[in-house]
Amino acid sequence: MEIGRQDEYAWFESAFYTLTGIDLSRYKRQQMERRLTTLRDKRGFATFADYLSACRSDPALLAELLDRMTINVSEFFRNRVRWDMLRSELWPEIARPGRSVRAWSAACSTGQEPYTLAFLLASRLPLDEFSILATDIDESALTVARQGAYPATDLASIPDEMRGPLLEVRDGRGQVAPALRARIEFRRHNLLADPFARDFDVIVCRNVLIYFTDDAKEQVYRKFATALRPGGILFVGSTEQIFHAETYGLVQRQPFFYQRLQ
Ligand SMILES: C[S@@+](CC[C@H](N)C(=O)[O-])C[C@H]1O[C@@H](n2cnc3c(N)ncnc32)[C@H](O)[C@@H]1O
């Protein structure tokens, strides 16, 4: 049966879902279709049907396709001023006396974001007074994240005063200390399909919701709001301002920081 050009991508979305459990129809179509079509063409397949059939028998080809759809770009202390804001003005909202801090870095990619959070929390609290859940849909990104090893140049943005014994840099490579790594639990989690844990003091979710459709985004905001404890903070990316935050039971405290209402 001939599949019409217009429908071919819709067919691919459904076949890709069966193969990977990832629902591409919840990502903005134009960007995703363009990105994946470019890769398909580069690999020499005229149709998504042929491409996917090749992916089924070639794990490396499938891994490359998954890699292209996830976009793992990240960096330590991305938009430093915002992290400073979290550490200073929003600190009283996050840390409450007599309780350890429970944080979630959602869509954490290769780990730069949860380690940033860990360095920041360690600069204000003893290590045993905070824990971080770090999740992503992409297992290969999580494998990199768990190792906590990066080129020294990538680590340059970690402030000197936060490093101490928590970061060892030698021969152009840096290694996050095991004691700090132990504060982070890395786990696979699909924001569009898996249940959300609860009672977080702070959730950091940056530079992923921009790829989702409006419907998917709204659903995730709603779930983040209930995953926070009352008064907890949601920290989003610099292009991800939430319009009508109150619809989700959130209030804007600073640009890109939202607080769950009591
Ligand atoms: C551009 S990176 C953002 C990394 C980090 N949050 C930052 O801002 O530096 C986007 C990440 O979102 C992840 N991602 C994409 N779709 C996802 C989903 N449905 N659930 C969880 N993570 C997802 C990708 O695997 C990728 O690692």
Give the pLDDT confidence of 77-136 residue by residue, as tens digits: 999 999 999 999 999 999 988 899 999 999 999 999 999 999 999 999 999 999 999 999
Q: What is the mean pLDDT of the chain?
A: 95
Residue 7 confidence class, pLDDT cut points 50, 70, 90: confident
Q: Which residue, among 247, 256, 235, has the nearest Cα to 94 in the 3D structure?
A: 235
Q: What is the pLDDT of residues 21-64, one digit of tens each?
A: 999 999 999 999 999 999 999 999 999 999 999 999 999 999 99
| Gap between the Cα atoms of 117 and 76, Å rounded | 9
**Can you give the pLDDT at residue 262?**
75
Ligand 1 near 137 CB (within 6 A): yes
Ligand 1 near 87 CB (within 6 A): no
Contacts of 32-40 with CB under 8 Å at 24 or more apart are: 32/69, 32/211, 33/9, 35/68, 35/69, 36/12, 36/65, 36/68, 36/69, 37/9, 39/64, 39/65, 39/68
The total of other beta-carbon atoms located within 10 Å of residue 134's CB is 26
Tell me the domain boundaries of the chain. Answer: 5-70, 80-260
pLDDT of 4 above 70: no
**Cα 131 to chain centroid, rounded:** 17
Share of the chain above pLDDT 90, in %: 95
Ligand 1 near 163 CB (within 6 A): no
Ligand 1 near 113 CB (within 6 A): yes
Instruction: Tell me the best of 24, 73, 136 to mutate to test the pocket of ligand 1, counting ligand atoms within 8 Å of each CB and taking the most.
Output: 136
What superfamily in CATH does domain 80-260 come from?
Vaccinia Virus protein VP39 (3.40.50.150)
Residue 14 confidence class, pLDDT cut points 50, 70, 90: very high
Distance spanning both ends of the chain, measured CA to CA: 56
CB 238 within 8 A of CB 211: no
